[in-house]
Structure 1
Amino acid sequence: MENVDGVLNTLTFYVTTYGLNVIGAIVILLIGLIIAGWVARIVENALARTQRVDETLRGFFSSFAKYFIIVFTVLAVLAQFGVQTASLIAIFGAAGLAIGLALQGTLSNLAAGVMLLLFRPFKTGDFIEAAGLSGTVKSITLFVTELATPDNVQIVVPNGQLWGASIHNYSFHDTRRVDLTLGIGYEANIADAKTAILDEVSKDARAHTEPAPMVAVLGLGDSSVDLVVRIWCKAGDYWALKFDLTEALKNRLDREGISIPYPQRAVHIVGAAGAASIPT
């Protein structure tokens, strides 16, 4: 009987001493979990209404808000039992600093990934050039971006490299300008060459009429008059139009009798009997 009475007295002591604390801790924990889920849904829905925020970022921010509240809930529960949370926060802070220093490069890529997904300098399917690399964007995650080169080679680039470099997005605008340089002989009539070039360009439906195609004298070379041809087209038609027009304009100038000269140099040989000029 004495043992039973001792056990009952011990149980009574703990129930009266810690019972309310346990009930309070359970209530705090339940309320904290409910609030954490509620805040996560609010953040998710709020970001979903913003078209600029990527789906990956929506999940990241909502999860961050949820676990942020859960951490403070756990600290409040520990405080309910008299645990000195200030020392725990200091320990977690020191541990977080050590982990941050150890994962400095990884966290840098994470921060860059957040910025890329938030500001969206490019999106999946765009052809970009950055950090000395170029390719079509296949996927963007919080840590890396996957590119595919024109010959279908996969490139996985850390986001820190992309965010810290100049980014050329060739797919950002709907239209692009094709620039071609053609050289004609000095004996050729420039006006006739311009007319022939513009006529050939007008036959291609991919060339936009507004802004209108333009042909101008770019410069006077060593062996040719250099003409620049500028045509606007859809961004997706850029390379096909460039390749096709380069061939078509060469054939058209041949039919018009307008030569595309190659470099020539005159060598003057001076001897006792006089000078002779030999073209090379």
Structure 2
Amino acid sequence: MSIIVNKVIEYVERNVNTLIEYSPKLVTAFFILVVGHYAIKIFKKLVNRKALKREFEPTLSKFLIDILIWLLRVLLFVTFISKLGIETASFVAIIGAAGLAIGLSLQGSLSNFAGGILIILFKPFEVGDSIEAQGVSGTVLEIQIFVTKLLTGNNQTIFIPNGSLSNGNIINHSLEGTRRADLSISVSYDADLKKTKEIIMTVLTQNEKILQEPASSVEVSALTETSVKLAIRPWANNEDFSKVCAETLENCKTELGKAGIVIEKKS
């Protein structure tokens, strides 16, 4: 019985001595962890404040700050376990291998990330702009790091990957502030073209939403087998564009009908 008691006492003494020897490292490691944690929080607030003062792009600055903070946290953790006496070489190698594996599996996402950075930096469009890209059109609601969010005219939300968006053609209807409508009406060969064009021009000049400068135009654009095709090109502000298109076609139909001018179906 005394042998067992002696072994227990010896075991306790050995572990107590080990704990006493190891306690400075333990205290130092946790001190670094706590101080580093609060230092990173303070650093994040300072950087955010600087970014707001410099008026950096909010989406890009937030993302870059988040990456920087996570890198600092990883560095803090590596420092913490190093102070505990744990070998960090193998740990760093594991992180590197994991990073490589994640990078290979997320090639598409990395492409979208790079596209998002390009869009935010070079600004081919901004939030609120009306654009056409990748076969869809709509108003830009949000430019995220990986996707751009659009709202279509029929109230559908579309997410376009930034990788394909940044590498394709983008039509920005809002960049210039004004926009020309390209409308067409086909009339019978029996119609008096001069009178027809005068009626259409009157319709255009009487619409207050249509700009006087640049000047609108009505021209013959094609001669088909059954009709004469007229190109109608009024100018409008972006916010009036849809209404101008609809009102122009409706008013031309009404006024031409009153004048007895026959509008032919498109051939």
Shorter-chain TM range is: 0.7 to 0.9
From 210, 231, 235, the counterpart of 2:234: 231
> Partner of 1:250 in structure 2?
253
Aligned to 2:42: 38
> 2:67 is matched with which residue?
64
The CA RMSD over aligned residues, in Å, is 3.4
When residues 107 and 261 of structure 1 are mapped into structure 2, their CA distance, relative to the original with a 3 A threshold, is: closer
Q: SS of the counterpart of 2:153?
A: coil
2:86 paired residue among 83, 86, 89: 83
TM-score, normalised relative to structure 2 = 0.78
C-alpha spacing 1:19/1:259, structure 2 compared with 1 (3 Å): same
Would you tell me which structure has more strand in proportion to its own residues? 1
Partner of 2:177: 174
Partner residue, 1:47: 51
Shift of 1:72: 1.0
Preserved contact between residue 52 and residue 118 of structure 1 (Cα < 8 Å)? no
Matched AA of 2:62? G
1:214 partnered with 2:217: yes
Shift of 1:85: 2.3
Q: Distance in 1 between matches of 2:105 and 2:47?
A: 30
CA distance in 2, matches of 1:10, 1:251: 99
Offset at residue 180 of structure 1 (A): 2.0
- Shift in alpha-carbon separation, 1:7–1:68, aligned structure 2, 3 A: same
Rate the CA distance shift 1:262–1:85 in 2: closer, same or farther, 3 A. Answer: closer
Q: What is the deviation of 1:206?
A: 0.2
State, as a whole percentage, how many aligned pairs show the same letter: 34
CA distance in 1, matches of 2:56, 2:233: 34
Length-normalised TM-score, structure 1: 0.75
Larger deviation: 83-92 or 104-113? 104-113
Contact 2:186 2:266 in 1 (8 A): no
User: Residue type of the partner of 1:92?
Assistant: I
**Which protein has greater RCO, CA pairs closer than 8 Å, 6+ apart?**
2
* 1:133 corresponds to which of 131, 136, 143: 136
What secondary structure sits across from 2:38 in the alignment?
Answer: helix
Once the two structures are superposed, what CA deviation does each residue of 1:104-149 show, in whole Å capped at 9, x if it has no partner?
A: 3344444444444454444444443322233344444444444444
Aligned length: 262
Matched residue SS, 1:151: coil
AA of the residue aligned to 1:165: G
CA distance in 2 between partners of 1:14 and 1:262 (Å) = 94
Identify, as 1 or 2, the structure richer in helix: 2
The aligned residue for residue 201 of structure 2 is 198
1:255 and 1:185 map into 2 onto residues whose CA distance is 15
The alpha carbon displacement at 1:7 in A equals: 5.0
Q: CA deviation at 1:12?
A: 4.8
CA distance in 2, matches of 1:157, 1:26: 45
Distance 2:52 2:123 in 1: 15
Q: 1:130 to 1:262 in 2, by over 3 A?
A: closer
Offset, 1:30: 3.6
Distance 2:240 2:202 in 1: 19
